Copies of this chain bind each other. A is one copy, B any other.
């Protein structure tokens, strides 16, 4: 992937007010660091973000199960975090990761394995 973000501005967590939604969550796009492939989008709580930084692996908040979720802990396909990016509005994250196995529970490398076309 062409890296147009070499000169990223660095923001420290305490310096920025993340805009969490009404449920205390912020969406995170998980992107493969080496290929740029978008693997999945999931929800991050303050606690899961803290765990992501602490462990170097992706943690999310499962809205359906209402629990913290270390991606790949069950399947073994843990995502190693290379960088966390923040958008201009401070209301969306990108997790750039190394991922050994598929991200999707269907076995596809990415959850975005379907193309949507109009009728």
A4-B35, A13-B119, A29-B41 given as contacts; is B109 within 8 A of A86 (CB)?
no
Number of this chain's copies in the assembly equals: 2
Interface residues of A in 6-34 (CB under 8 A from B): 8-14, 16, 27, 29, 31
Q: Please tell me if A94 contacts chain B, counting CB pairs below 8 Å.
A: yes
* CB-based contact B116/A36 at 8 Å: no
Q: How far is the CA of A13 from the CA of B2 in the complex (A)?
A: 32
* CB-based contact A104/B88 at 8 Å: yes
Interface string of A80-119 (1 = CB under 8 A from B): 0001111111001110000000001110111111111111
* CB-based contact B87/A41 at 8 Å: yes
Q: Sample 10 A-B pairs with CB under 8 A, ordered by A number.
A: A2-B36, A4-B109, A8-B113, A9-B113, A12-B117, A13-B116, A13-B119, A40-B87, A84-B115, A88-B111
**Told that A1-B1, A10-B114 touch, could you supply 8 new A-B pairs with CB distance under 8 A?**
A4-B109, A5-B37, A11-B117, A12-B117, A13-B117, A38-B85, A86-B114, A87-B112
